[in-house]
Amino acid sequence: MNTPPDLIETLQQHLAVCQELLLVAEREGQTLRRPDQPSLFDLYQQKKSLLPRLNQSLDGLRKHRVNWQRLSLDERSRQPGVGSLLRKTQDLIMKIIVLDRENEQALLRRGLVPPRELPSVNRQRPHFVADLYRRQGAA
């Protein structure tokens, strides 16, 4: 059975991968802000090499999740490090998402995104689905 210390180790490893992703996203943003339009190939390769590690890390977390949820609230409360690591990881992931969105917008402005990879127009409308349901319900 996976123990809370194993979960903490897996969370720390996941946090490390997320920190590397954040660094790559920050470097990409800095590169995209440069006026001389340098190559983004190295950053693309770094992202590509991090993807298998991220998937492996997520698989490890999925395995621990089931066992963690089986623990009683009392047993979970004795492991404050888990909650702290989860919050740190979530905060880091949100930073990565925001930076990646900004980088994507910069790529779009420079015309560096192939047409087949362009984001959906409705992605810029966060309440599109809710509005659609509301209109369907009123009809």
Boundaries of every domain in the chain? 4-138
pLDDT of residue 125: 66
- In SS3 terms, the chain reads as CCCHHHHHHHHHHHHHHHHHHHHHHHHHHHHHHCCCCCCCHHHHHHHHHHHHHHHHHHHHHHHHHHHHHHCCHHHHHCCHHHHHHHHHHHHHHHHHHHHHHHHHHHHHHCCCCCHHHCCCHHHHCCCHHHHHHHHHHHC
pLDDT digits (tens, 9 = 90+) for 70-114: 888 898 888 888 888 989 999 999 999 999 989 988 888 888 777
pLDDT digits (tens, 9 = 90+) for 25-69: 999 999 998 888 788 899 999 999 999 999 999 998 888 888 888
